[in-house]
Amino acid sequence: RVFFRSVATTFGPVRDVPVSPDYGIGPGDDILIRAWGQIDVDFSAVVDRNGTISVPRVGSFNVAGIKYQDLTGYLKSTFGRVFRNFELTATLGRLRAIQVFVVGQTRRPGSYTLSSLSTLVNAVFAVGGPSAKGSMRGIQLKRGNRVVAELDLYDLLIAGDKSKDAQLLPGDVIYIPSVGPLVAVTGSVNVPAIYELKQNSPLSELLRWAGGLSTTAQGQKVTVERIENRTARKVEEFRLDPPGLARAVRDGDLVTVFSLAPRFDDIVTLRGNV
């Protein structure tokens, strides 16, 4: 969660970035149309709330839902009903803004106005990420009465995987649930911390999240402190061999990785003029 502490308190919409080919045209988008030949057109048309644009000498027609990669071909076909022997290009100018709602265990819940190019990850960063009580493993994007995407921030922050990101649409709701099961790892690891589990995970995965063993780690054994049935606290010690790495860690576990003892064993010291 330290990652979100430096997030700006204001969020600037995404501008001056390439529009993806599958971007869907919608109300509020500005379409720049240029045609030459039998017809000379240099016109800017804003898509109205009905999804239509009006072009002089051509008429009104619907463009809502058309993908950006198909826009030029669609307009050329529409203009071709009236004119012949011309060339046409269409690009997007100012893009529409969309309103989304962020609720649940977030640092700054509320209604946000974002660029239509914004994605789920953009919005999560805009609100400062989950709060201390919020989950980083199951952020939901809700559209209507169904969940259309679920984001695991560990994929992004630990593995750099953004493949589960999703495009936002007007009226979307981003819901951050309460934090799930937690397990702590301490001792000779590179990133000792408290980590959130989706389900019971093997010890090997926990050590991967923690950046692996440090150079001073003994690399032979660990202890797991666990509360059994909310009645008794138990400590298990086992080796870091394949069976040990496959052991499942559970909610409330404290994993300690031993470090090398600060002593030398089985040594010979040679001094003098040698």
Spatial CA neighbour of 33 closest among 80, 79, 88: 88
Q: What is the pLDDT of residue 232?
A: 85
Q: How far is CA 106 from CA 4, 52, 109, 173, 240, in A?
A: 11, 38, 6, 13, 37
At residue 10, does pLDDT exceed 60? no
- Per-residue pLDDT reduced to its tens digit, 17-47: 678 888 889 999 999 999 998 888 899 999 9
Spatial CA neighbour of 11 closest among 104, 138, 114: 114
- Per-residue pLDDT reduced to its tens digit, 40-78: 889 999 999 999 999 988 889 999 999 999 999 999 999
The upper half-sphere exposure of residue 84, i.e. CA atoms within 13 Å in the direction of its Cβ, equals: 0
Q: What is the pLDDT of residue 191?
A: 92
- And the tokens for 238? 């086992």
Question: pTM for this one?
Answer: 0.77
In the three-class reduction of DSSP (H, G, I as helix; E, B as strand; rest coil), residue 231 is classed as coil
Spatial CA neighbour of 206 closest among 239, 184, 233: 184
| Radius of gyration, CA atoms only, the chain | 28
Percent of the chain clearing pLDDT 90 (strictly above):
51
CA 172 to chain centre: 16
Question: For the residues 11-18, what does the mean pLDDT come to?
Answer: 56
Q: What is the pLDDT of residue 11?
A: 47
- Per-residue pLDDT reduced to its tens digit, 115-139: 888 899 989 988 888 998 999 999 9
- Per-residue pLDDT reduced to its tens digit, 209-248: 999 988 878 777 889 999 888 788 899 888 888 888 899 9
Stretch (H or E) spanning 218: strand 217-228
- Residue 119 backbone zone (phi > 0: left; psi -120 to 50: alpha; other: beta): beta
